[in-house]
Amino acid sequence: MGDAIAFLTTFGRKGGTLRAGAFGWFPLVGAALGALLGGCWWLAGEYWPPFVAAAVIVVLDLACTGMLHFDGLADTADGLLPHAPPARRLEIMRGPEVGAFGVCAVGAALVLRTAALTAEPASVLLIVAVWAAARALVASVPAFVPYARETGIASTLLDGAPWWPVLAVPVAVVVAALGPGLEAAIGVVVGCLAGVAVLIVARRRVGGFTGDVLGAVVVVTETVALVVAAGRV
């Protein structure tokens, strides 16, 4: 569990060593992080207006995750969205530069997350469900999707990667339904489908997933889930 905490958050051992066994802990770490953020969201809402409270939680999430997932979103957008051959896409994603596609993707995600949190009452269970589902989804990816690079962060993990963390997704749907209600449950489902869509695009354009793609899946899943949950059914 320590490896999962260190890899997914700024807590625990600095840097962390990602091993196949860590994937099984991803949903639990996501739920714990969601509980922390959800509790802070509720407290912030008691002190600040909804927009300020929402902005504070978005920034707190960035601090707790070390902006790891948003870095992946930026690199993934720069690599997958422009026209380029697969090898060039992977080269772009590995580079330190951030282009227009990455800036726009990150900006859109931050705006949508803040707006969605502003539009709905604070709910700890909503954040727990969404954050757990997003990490359950990415934890199972190496068991189903090939790794796009010959070497890299996940190249040694494919043989031992478990598939069963994805079973936490329906649990998250139930938690969302029991908490905020139907809109939240639908949000978790649609958010996960949006994350799968990112994986499909990555599979077609670079041949599989990378660490950056997994980060993008987390952000897209969370953001879409929050936006859908803020709607009215």
| pLDDT given for residue 155 in this prediction | 52
Rounded to the nearest 5°, which phi and psi values hold at 88? -70, -40
Amino acid at 106: V
Alpha helices in the chain (DSSP H): 2-8, 26-47, 50-65, 68-80, 86-94, 100-118, 124-144, 168-178, 182-206, 211-229
CA 16 to chain centre: 18
The pTM (predicted TM-score) of the whole model is 0.94
Q: What are the tens digits of pLDDT across the range 75-89?
A: 999 999 999 999 999
Q: What are the tens digits of pLDDT across the range 95-139?
A: 888 999 999 999 999 999 999 999 999 999 999 999 999 999 999
Q: What are the tens digits of pLDDT across the range 16-46?
A: 456 667 888 999 999 999 999 999 999 999 9
